[in-house]
Chains A and B, each alone.
Chain A
């Protein structure tokens, strides 16, 4: 039998918890919801748009009646819960309903705080919290009257803007000297104020209301500066207080809010509380993103799924006023121990401030240009060391990579009909529409619905920005699961695998509460990889059935289902005999297309699956091994001719290339890995766009790391210079191993270095002890890795399944079948 779950409050955080719960289980509870307001669940954040007339109420509804019906939720709207009997587990409502519960969720939100003011009891003194408030304001305002808004915070400004948009004279009073002082420093406040004055809002700073006068209703307002104005409406937006009365009367522990633990449980374990009404670790929250974070953990606990629990939120704010771009997060004021990076252009209306402590961002204020908000916020949340970014960081992410194409554009400047995803032909407008109409909340959902970013992924930065800009405060960038099977990110998975023992991928799924029994094509290869990293191939056997086609079949599948075959050509050097052998084999198997690759070898295309094994055997017989052109591992070592022939060459780059390839072949890494060796700084082997680039100089070798020549070109960073070949070998091994162990699955070195920072990698690689440690581990793993996968697949009998089972017409008639050969 299902348990009974009662939710008190039909608002955003309570309902979000239910939605998250349904993602985990739909069958555990019979759900009843009491809502004081006579409406369906609407988006309270959109009230400002409702007031300004930019949206209709219908557009702000999050859960329509059909949603309640589909999920068999009983909604008592307009019926307030008035008491909780926790001994007998019962809730009593205003209309006299008395219902029993097994679990209770209190989501009563908050109410407006109105400071004691003479006259505040008069009619038409209102708060700005609900649809009713918004309706009342719209009824009262008129062109020949002045409206007064008290409070220069987020809500007050949005209320004043909403009223001013109707052409009403609006006065905003704020008790401190700078507006939005909870989210903005004084420079940001000044710029914002200047902008808002354009809409006709008059600001009275360092001022409060002395008294409100009138005969029953508001007629005039006197300010502390002595000025009196005639007015018919006073809107208070002076803060909120959690609605704790119900919980308090029921005997639950409360302070500022209802006290909850990391799983959003109150002092009674059957009673949960979430949203603006709760107090967690002495914090209360009044913005939506943290509430959504809480909802996730609350839903897990309700579903009996274990989790680390909620650990508090970094607050970030966006102002929802059209034409004003403003973002702030973290400790935006700083103190004497912090540094500030500031960019201020008053004329252009751009202000950016980053508060830095210990080389990490701890606070952000952006005004006028918020394109990089999500990037800065990510750096803040991940505590990224920014010391090598700091000279450029204020100019945004695009300035960093020198990229003028993908990834760095301000999405506000992109037209709706402009293509943002070149692989799948998706325009910006398609993405925005999908987010709004289909209520998408995560990048994963956008990818799946619109296909934008679903192929090469180079536009994901833009997709994320569009998501952030479309959702505003609702955007919640907490770690998404690596796929739909789970809620955990790569970091947590790696930590879990590092600290526990596992025999196979399925054990990991169980330990981390996977929603599916055997994962999917995204997570299983990733977990298989992490287990390989932990145990190496001799203790944990690479699971073929968790590998995607190319890694499983040791060849690259093509669009028509044929394969391409690439033998290894060490350092790009070959011989006449080798070429003759390849030619003979290509003729024997009637290979339709042969192409020189960018990695200096030969690619034979159009090979059928059943041809693979005999062809590999012939190649093996001539001394070739697999070039692993399909592998997430070492691909090629590209070389230029070097001092053997070249008049500019300073070292033997061909010889070094061969040595490095002999050293590293067979190794596996999070993603493909390319090396190049150039014989002089003219760099004909293009070593500066490789994962590991070596450039010969007269006195030794320069080592360059984390370049990429693909979707987005990234030039390597110079790690160091070494004098001897032995040192170069040690760096080669050490860097590859460190990348293998530290990066996330499918993260190229270029993405890895941008996530963790060059400093971080340098600190390990230039430390003799650490480098030697990783180099040694590399040698260990190479012992079992340097086995030709083609020869092994044939020897193990794996290639037997490459042949189709052929049913001849006569067999099918006589109900017989046999295997070919």
Chain B
């Protein structure tokens, strides 16, 4: 059974922006896309460990702030001609609150 962890109210995640969540030592980036969907992925770019949370959000992707790799938020996969993958976590919104499953 999934262990859902309550993170924060959905309004605390800026639209087309992100928040960093620290669980123990793990940094997870929670994104909100333009349509209001929530995504949770490891805050580490598979290329050179850039902080994905600082990237520009477009569609269901984020562009890493260090070297502009585009990462698919739903799969964690690098897009285009780049290859690599970062962990993603399941997330859900219930009663305007964001939960993720580790």
Contacts and interface: CB of A to CB of B under 8 A. Distances in A.
Interface of A: 448-449, 455, 516-521, 524-525, 544-549, 552-553, 557, 559, 561, 609, 801, 804-807, 809, 811-812, 815-817, 819
B55 interface: yes
B19 interface: yes
B58 A807 contact: no
A545 B57 contact: yes
Contacts of A557: 51, 54, 65-66
A816 B97 CA distance: 11
Interface in B57-76: 57-59, 61, 63, 65-68, 70
A553 B58 CA distance: 18
B4 A815 contact: yes
Contact of B7 (A559, A561, A807): A807
A544 B18 CA distance: 12
Contact of A817 (B7, B14, B49, B57): B7
Given A553-B54, A809-B24, A517 B8 contact: no
B81 interface: yes
B10 interface: no
B70 A520 contact: yes
Contacts of B8: 805, 817, 819
Given A517-B34, A816-B6, A448 B51 contact: no
A548 B65 contact: yes
Interface string B34-49: 1000000000000011
B16 interface: yes
Interface of B: 3-8, 12, 14-17, 19-24, 27, 30, 34, 48-51, 54-59, 61, 63, 65-68, 70, 80-81, 102
B81 A805 contact: no
Given A518-B16, A816-B6, A817-B5, A804 B27 contact: yes
30 contacts: A448-B81, A516-B58, A517-B59, A518-B34, A520-B56, A547-B56, A548-B65, A553-B54, A557-B51, A557-B66, A559-B48, A559-B50, A561-B49, A801-B19, A804-B20, A804-B22, A805-B7, A805-B8, A805-B30, A806-B22, A807-B5, A807-B22, A809-B24, A812-B3, A812-B5, A812-B23, A812-B102, A816-B6, A817-B5, A817-B6
Nearest to B67: A455
Given A518-B34, A805-B21, A545 B81 contact: no
B9 to A, nearest CB: 9
A559 B23 contact: no
Interface centre among A448, A516, A804, A819 (most CB of B within 10 A): A804
A518 B5 contact: no
Contacts of B16: 518, 545
A815 B5 CA distance: 5
A448 B83 CA distance: 12
Contact of A804 (B3, B15, B21): B21
A546 B56 contact: yes
A507 to B, nearest CB: 14
Nearest to B4: A815
Nearest to A816: B6
A552 B70 CA distance: 19
Contacts of A519: 58
A217 to B, nearest CB: 54
A521 B68 contact: yes
Contact of B58 (A521, A811, A817): A521
Contacts of A524: 56, 58
Contacts of B21: 804-807
Contact of B14 (A518, A545, A549): A545
A815 B4 CA distance: 7
Nearest to B62: A521
Given A804-B22, A805-B22, A548 B59 contact: no
A801 B55 contact: no
A455 B20 CA distance: 28
B34 to A, nearest CB: 5
Given A516-B58, A545-B17, A559-B50, 11 more contacts: A518-B16, A518-B34, A521-B55, A521-B63, A521-B70, A545-B15, A557-B54, A559-B66, A561-B54, A801-B14, A806-B21
A559 B51 CA distance: 9
Contacts of B12: 801, 805, 819
Contacts of B50: 559, 561
Contacts of A516: 58-59
| Among all A-B residue pairs, the 6 with the closest Cβ atoms | A521-B63, A545-B16, A549-B65, A561-B51, A804-B20, A549-B54
A817 B13 CA distance: 14
A153 B3 CA distance: 76
